[in-house]
């Protein structure tokens, strides 16, 4: 059972990381080729297409990660001190990633789309980009910590 859960965890990570990389380096730059309402519509479609897949992958990652952590002894007190330290950092970074993804997807993204649609100054573009790059960085760091945990476990 642990092997199946680990496989599910890895597949969900592949969906999250791969999808994020594709969005950052392919989809968003393509959407930037448009202006005004066309750009807002393209970004809205990207978001509405990605959200169910991405958020489902994150939910699977969180659930399977907790099961794997339990198997490694985190909840029974059987894990090593170094495992607990790395696990704690990973959990904190995952929480930051989830919060950042929420703000990006449901606050800043729709807000910027509204600004573009209404022809107003795009004051949310910089915060959206900053949160996006933070999320991208966390998307790359968190699986590395997972690899460290797999080695420590």
What pLDDT, on a 0 to 100 scale, did the predictor assign at position 39? 81
* pLDDT score, position 119: 87
DSSP code for 118: T
pLDDT tens over the chain, length 153 residues: 989 999 999 999 999 999 999 999 999 899 889 987 788 788 889 889 999 999 999 999 999 999 999 999 999 999 999 999 999 999 999 999 999 999 999 999 999 888 888 889 999 999 999 999 999 999 999 999 999 999 998
Residue 8 CB contacts under 8 Å (≥ 6 apart), including other chains: 60, 64
HSE-CB for 134 with a 13 A CA cutoff: 18
CB-hemisphere CA count at 13 Å for 12?
21
Q: How far is CA 107 from CA 32, 86, 94, 103, 153, in A?
A: 20, 30, 19, 5, 38
Residue 97 to residue 134: CA distance in whole angstroms:
8
pLDDT of residue 153: 80
Q: What is the pLDDT of residue 113?
A: 83
pLDDT at 77: 93
Q: Give the CA-trace dihedral at 115, 120, 124, 129, to 10 degrees.
A: 80
- Report the distance separating Cα 139 and Cα 78, nearest Å: 28
Cα dist from 145 to 16, 69, 96, 98, 113, whole Å: 15, 13, 14, 16, 34
């Amino acid at each position: 059972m642990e092997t199946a859960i680990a496989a599910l965890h890895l597949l969900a990570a592949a969906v999250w990381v791969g999808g994020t990389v594709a969005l950052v380096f392919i989809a968003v730059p393509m959407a930037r080729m448009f202006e005004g309402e066309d750009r807002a519509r393209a970004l809205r479609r990207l978001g509405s297409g990605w959200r169910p897949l991405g958020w489902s992958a994150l939910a699977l990652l969180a659930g399977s990660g907790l099961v794997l952590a339990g198997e490694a002894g985190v909840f029974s007190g059987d894990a090593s001190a170094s495992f607990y330290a790395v696990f704690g950092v990973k959990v904190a970074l995952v929480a930051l990633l989830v919060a950042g993804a929420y703000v990006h997807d449901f606050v800043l993204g729709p807000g910027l789309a509204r600004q573009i649609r209404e022809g107003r100054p795009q004051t949310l573009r910089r915060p959206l980009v900053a949160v996006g790059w933070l999320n991208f960085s966390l998307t790359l760091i968190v699986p590395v910590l997972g690899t460290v945990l797999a080695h420590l476990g």
